[in-house]
């Protein structure tokens, strides 16, 4: 592990993402770290944690596709959208769902998808988090947000549950999606179990259990070089002299076929030194990283 890394934690159920972050910072004795994509306490799975200078590259990973495995319970809803809220059972009979019928109906969610943030969420309106209103029994009007559903795969169907895998954009509330699925299926629904199984090109096998994390500089399990966070961004390599110029805040000349693009800048040792912008063979530094 280097001082600046990406760490992929398998967050356990029942703790907040901030609690998981606090445990990581304590275990590894680090001060500068942050989370990419908060998970609800109910949810388990991939919680990307950026350490040190990796925090400066967070936005590149924030925009990655998120992958979830979701167990949808049919015939019941709750005020929180999951099984931890006040349950309300549907008087309607749970419909007999066939694979083909479900596929056809869920296909309606593919593509651009507008949803309202759930009341039990940390979205702020008028300077106050929605869950604070919700705990007081107050419902606030929330503007719809534009998200994108790449795919919903049906894994299993039985009499009262529907298991699916969802790939979606950042900012998608799975609990709200589940409730909207219930509306399409004409039955109450709630999120019975939720697990994030991937972010971008990272999958379940790339994670480390929070309990297995230890202060061991030789351990690489769950840790990734910051270059893995920006593997889809164009890269240029500069000389030592040009690196010094960039670090002084000045632009440099750099002949390239790239134009009007954000770029990752590496030095002669193949270490990422920062983020820049290239136009007409001129590189403009935007944000530079310290090298461990």
Q: What is the per-residue pLDDT across 117-141, written as a single tens digit (0 to 9) for each? A: 777 767 777 777 777 777 777 777 7
The sign of the torsion formed by the CA atoms of 34, 37, 39, 45 equals negative
Q: Give all domains of the chain, ordered by start, each with its CATH number.
A: 5-64+201-229 (3.30.2350.10), 66-192 (3.30.2350.10), 233-288 (2.30.130.10)
Per residue in 208-227, pLDDT (tens digit) is 999 888 755 556 779 999 99
Residue-level pLDDT at 124: 79
Q: Mention every residue, 6+ apart, whose C-beta is less than 8 A from residue 120.
A: 79, 80, 81, 85, 130, 131, 134, 175
Q: Give the other-Cβ count within 10 Å of 98's Cβ.
A: 10
Q: Give the other-Cβ count within 10 Å of 263's Cβ.
A: 21
Whose tokens are 């910051």? That residue is: 226
Whose tokens are 């159920």? That residue is: 13
**What does the alpha-carbon distance between residue 197 and residue 44 come to, in Å, rounded to a whole number?**
9
- Note if 259 is an active site residue: no
Residue-level pLDDT at 248: 94
Helix axes 174-185, 99-106, angle to 10 degrees: 120
**What does the alpha-carbon distance between residue 9 and residue 166 come to, in Å, rounded to a whole number?**
20
Each residue's pLDDT, cut to its tens digit, for the chain (292 residues) gives 558 999 999 999 999 999 999 999 998 899 999 999 999 999 999 999 999 999 999 999 999 999 999 999 999 999 999 998 899 999 999 999 899 999 999 999 999 999 987 777 677 777 777 777 777 777 777 788 899 999 999 999 998 999 999 999 999 999 999 999 999 999 999 999 999 999 999 999 999 999 888 755 556 779 999 999 998 899 999 999 999 999 999 999 999 999 989 999 999 999 999 999 999 999 999 999 998 7
| Average pLDDT value over all residues in the chain | 91
* Alpha helix stretches (DSSP H) within 38-193: 58-62, 99-106, 130-135, 174-185
The sign of the torsion formed by the CA atoms of 177, 187, 88, 70 equals negative
Residue-level pLDDT at 87: 96
**What does the alpha-carbon distance between residue 265 and residue 261 come to, in Å, rounded to a whole number?**
12
Q: Give the other-Cβ count within 10 Å of 167's Cβ.
A: 17
The torsion angles phi and psi of 62, rounded to 5 degrees, stand at: -60, -35
- Active-site pick, 10, 40, 82, 192: 40
The number of residues making up the chain comes to 292
Q: Is 57 helix (H, G, I), strand (E, B) or coil?
A: helix
């Amino acid at each position: 592990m280097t001082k600046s890394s990406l760490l992929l934690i398998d967050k356990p159920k029942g703790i907040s993402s901030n609690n998981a972050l606090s445990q990581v910072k304590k275990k590894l004795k680090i001060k500068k770290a942050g989370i990419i994509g908060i998970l609800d306490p109910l949810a388990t799975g991939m919680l990307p944690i950026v350490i040190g200078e990796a925090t400066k590259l967070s936005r590149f990973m924030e925009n990655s596709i998120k992958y979830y495995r979701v167990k949808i319970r049919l015939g019941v809803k709750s005020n929180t959208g999951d099984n931890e809220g006040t349950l309300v059972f549907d008087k309607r009979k749970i419909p007999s769902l066939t694979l083909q019928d479900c596929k056809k109906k869920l296909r309606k969610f593919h593509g651009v998808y507008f949803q309202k943030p759930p009341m039990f969420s940390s979205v702020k309106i008028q300077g106050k988090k929605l869950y604070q209103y919700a705990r007081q029994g107050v419902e606030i009007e929330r503007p719809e947000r534009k998200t994108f559903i790449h795919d919903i795969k049906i894994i299993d169907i039985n009499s009262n549950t529907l298991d699916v895998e969802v790939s979606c954009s950042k900012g998608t509330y799975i609990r709200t999606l589940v409730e909207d699925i219930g509306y399409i299926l004409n039955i109450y629904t709630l999120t019975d179990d939720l697990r994030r199984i991937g972010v971008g090109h990272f999958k379940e096998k790339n994670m480390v259990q929070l309990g297995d994390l230890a202060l061991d500089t030789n351990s690489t399990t769950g840790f990734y070089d910051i270059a893995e966070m920006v593997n889809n961004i164009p890269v240029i390599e500069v000389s030592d002299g040009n690196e010094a110029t960039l670090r002084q805040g000045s632009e440099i000349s750099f002949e390239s076929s790239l134009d009007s693009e954000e770029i990752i800048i590496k030095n002669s040792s193949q270490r990422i030194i920062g983020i820049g912008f290239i136009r007409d063979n001129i590189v403009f530094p935007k944000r530079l990283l310290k090298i461990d």
